[in-house]
Amino acid sequence: MHGHIYPDPAYHILHQVFQLATDNASTAMCRWTHGRVTLSLDRVDELPLESVATALEVGDELLTMVILTIDGEDNGQLIITFDELNGRRLAASLLHRDVCTEPEWTSLEMSALNETGNILGCAYLGALTHLVSAELVPSPPYFVQDFGASVLEQALMSQALTEDKVLVCRTGFHRDGENLNWNVIFVPGAALREKLESAVSMAE
Amino acid sequence: MGVVTASTGHASLVGMGESVLLRGEDTARSVVGSCIGLVLYHRRAKVAAMSHIVLPEAAGRPGLPGKFADTAIPYMIDQLAKEGAHTSGLVAILAGGARMFGKPGPLQIGETNAAAVTAAIENLGITIRGTSIGGGKGRRLSFDCATGALTVEVAGESPQVL
């Protein structure tokens, strides 16, 4: 489902921009997981604020997430979402252990997911840095278990201050060719969104 | 989407900036972080309005009436009045206003949102029946118009009924 309202050329270029970021992240992720996990761009859209959570299928369920924030003027948020089982499977495969069945996540499991976020986030934002000519440095990754929509809401806050439609990008994961219930959601802040859009309009 | 809708026995999902009107057996759900989920409920008329308030004031910014505290509350009151539920019989229940990720910063609007909604409700003389405000985590809200109960869930904690 694509609800974008950009003119087609601009949408096409924005799509290419996020495709490049996704490809960079996919290469890094593939190395990190010994070739098993790759990423593909799912959607780039400008959506009405009230329908973002539904459109991105970030409902009212509890999710395991790793969050990287870009602070400063060109702010933004990169959120990697996992359901409980798949998050634990990834941690177990990275740690070469059996999947943990304790309700509480161990610090080692959290660290494995955070490191995944770090590798993926740096590769993703590195690609965007080239485009906008501004250094996008992510914060240390932050592990959180919360309702997905409440975290997404916070990520949307910068754009919500001035807009009623927000630019979001979602990327999906695949392991050994199968779709996984993991996603990367990238939400640029208002200033970064503007930079992305002007870089796109110059390229048109 | 995004405006008060008349519904009967329906379950609504209230997105950011949306308001819904509920009657009889209607229910509504929402998930909030730094935003505020506000319910205005008229017990005798069994009518309620629920908004997902994002920011304290509109100040000319674009958005649905439910997005801002200073537009959402008058809008909800107006819609409820059309249903015969006048301000004197309303109670308010509010939840949210968290400082998400426990970080400071200009986009941490939770406390300001909570203060703006609370002040506006108090200025109207509406009794605040229950609150679940602050903290560092999101809240899943479920409102049942038949009972007037707002159930608040926080990850890792027992549900609270307001």
| Whether B101 and A149 lie within 8 Å, measured CB to CB | no
Q: How far is B35 from chain A (nearest CA, A)?
A: 8
| Residue A5, pLDDT score | 55
Q: Which two tokens stand for residue B156?
A: 């890792």
Which tops the pLDDT comparison, B14 or A157?
B14
Determine the average pLDDT of the residues in B89-93.
Answer: 97
User: Which is higher by pLDDT, A70 or B18?
Assistant: B18
Q: Which residues contact A105 (CB under 8 A, 6 or more apart)?
A: A64, A88, A91, A143, A145
**B27: which chain A residues are within 8 Å (Cβ-Cβ)?**
none
Structure confidence at residue B16 (pLDDT): 95
Q: Taking CB atoms and an 8 Å cutoff, what residues of chain A touch B105?
A: 71
**Which contiguous run of DSSP H or E holds residue B123?**
helix B110-123
Whether residue A9 is predicted with pLDDT greater than 70 in this model: the reply is no
* More reliable by pLDDT, B78 or B9: B78
Whether residue B35 lies within 8 A of chain A, CB to CB, comes out as yes
CA distance A89 to A191: 37
- pTM recorded for the entire structure: 0.89
Specify the number of domains making up chain B.
1
Closest Cβ–Cβ partner in B17, B29, B34 for A60: B29
Instruction: Report chain B residues whose CB lies below 8 A from the CB of A146.
Output: 33, 137-138, 155
Best residue in B18, B53, B101 to probe A by mutation, most A CBs within 10 Å? B101
- Chain A partners within 8 Å of B155 (Cβ): 62, 145-147
Which option is the CATH number for A10-203: 3.30.360.10, 3.90.1640.10, 3.40.1550.10, 3.30.460.10?
3.40.1550.10
Q: What is the pLDDT of residue B156?
A: 87
Say what the pLDDT of residue A174 is: 86
| pLDDT (average), residues B142-161 | 96
Nearest to B140 among A142, A147, A157 (CB): A147
Does position B72 have pLDDT exceeding 70, yes or no?
Answer: yes
Q: Is the ipTM of this structure higher than 0.95?
A: no
Q: What is the DSSP letter of B68?
A: B
Q: Residue A161 and residue B63: Cβ atoms within 8 Å? A: no
Residues of chain A contacting B15 with CB distance shorter than 8 Å = 49-54
Sign of the dihedral through C-alpha A121, A124, A127, A131: negative
Q: How many angstroms separate the CA atoms of A177 and A37, rounded?
A: 8
Contact B1 A51 (CB under 8 A): yes
pLDDT at A204 (0 to 100): 58
Q: Look at residue A6 and tell me whether its pLDDT is greater than 70.
A: no
Highest mean pLDDT out of A62-71, A183-192, B4-13, B16-25: B16-25
Q: What is the pLDDT of residues B11-59, one digit of tens each?
A: 889 999 999 999 999 999 999 999 999 999 999 999 999 999 999 999 9
- Domain extent at residue B121: 3-161
By Cβ distance, the residue of A50, A142, A158 closest to B17 is A50
User: At B34, which CATH number?
Assistant: 3.30.1330.200
Is B62 within 8 Å of A164 when comparing Cβ atoms?
yes
Give the mean pLDDT of chain A.
Answer: 85
- Give me the residue spans of the domains in chain A: 10-203
